[in-house]
Amino acid sequence: MADVDIRETRSSMDIATILGLISGFGLIAAAIFLGGDPASFVNAPSVLIVIGGTFAIVTMCFSLSEVMHTFRVIMKTVFYSNRDPSEAAIQVLQVAELARRQGVLSLQNVLNSLEAEPFLHKGMAMVVDGTPGEEVETIMRRDLQATVQRHMKSTSVLRRAAEFAPAMGLIGTLIGLVQMLGNLDDPSTIGPSMAVALLTTFYGAVLANMVFSPLAAKLERNSTEEAMINTVYLMGAASIGRQENPRRLEMLLNSILPPAKRVQYFD
């Protein structure tokens, strides 16, 4: 019978990313529709050269599995925002207080309510199973490092893509220009040919500046935040495993939280 109420949480969609993406592309679409014929902005070979070419080059720079993994990371880390670090710290302190008062085994009852936070859940499960605090810390830190390294790799995949998309756009436009200039006989085709040639540059600029570059920035930001929250979980699990005083845990957590996010759970 737990007299400490553990808040149940769930990380929410990162509204800023979704909103930015939709409103940015909405503006572009509006400008295209206002200007008349939207069909003139769709050209399958141009799409293939820019997207396919960027994908091909980025695959060359890394490996297929690293590029594929980046898609998963974007879905998981970029579009879902993390919890507030203060909230995570409070939750950890609640669990620690409960363990202090009623013993570590009583955590068995609250394990389910932690399932929304797999990293915390895993750590607490180890604690309940009697794994010593030092080992809990070692295992969780290794997990944390591996995640950080994977996110860094994915960030550099996105950075490379933002670098090569405009280059592929330029290459596509050069191909179009050379083809157009070789067929100057019929002046009526110059305009449309040139318009098609410019499309790859347009696609490249949109991809780099409205997709890859902001996603890389957001991934880096969210990854830093996730690492901080997971460090909070790690320190909590290790402290509970070592059966330390929760007040000492509060002090430790405040030393890693940013100034504006520090918590004061006890008195």
DSSP state of 62: S
Q: Per CB under 8 A, does 164 bind a copy of itself? A: yes
Q: Per CB under 8 A, does 233 bind a copy of itself? A: no
Q: Per CB under 8 A, does 63 bind a copy of itself? A: yes
Token pair of 105 as six digits: 């085994």
Q: Are 116 and 83 in contact (CB under 8 A)?
A: no
Q: How far is the CB of 49 from a copy of itself (least distance, A)?
A: 5
Token pair of 238 as six digits: 């290790």
Q: How far is the CB of 143 from a copy of itself (least distance, A)?
A: 8
Cβ neighbours for 193, distance < 8 A, ≥ 6 positions apart: 176, 179, 180, 183
Q: How far is the CB of 223 from a copy of itself (least distance, A)?
A: 13
Q: Per CB under 8 A, does 215 bind a copy of itself? A: yes
Report the DSSP beta bridge partners of residue 93: none
Q: Are 197 and 40 in contact (CB under 8 A)?
A: no
Stretch that binds a copy of itself, among 88-96, 111-119, 170-178, 231-239 (CB under 8 A): 170-178
The residue within the footprint of a copy of itself, chosen from 123, 176, 236, 246 (CB under 8 A), is: 176
Q: How far is the CB of 109 from a copy of itself (least distance, A)?
A: 32
Cβ burial 68-106 (10 Å sphere, 16+ → b, else e)? ebbeebbeebbbebbbebbbbbbbbbbbbbbbbeeebee
Q: Per CB under 8 A, does 118 bind a copy of itself? A: no
Q: Which of residues 186-205 bind a copy of itself (CB under 8 A)?
A: 188, 190-192, 194-195, 198-199, 201-202, 205
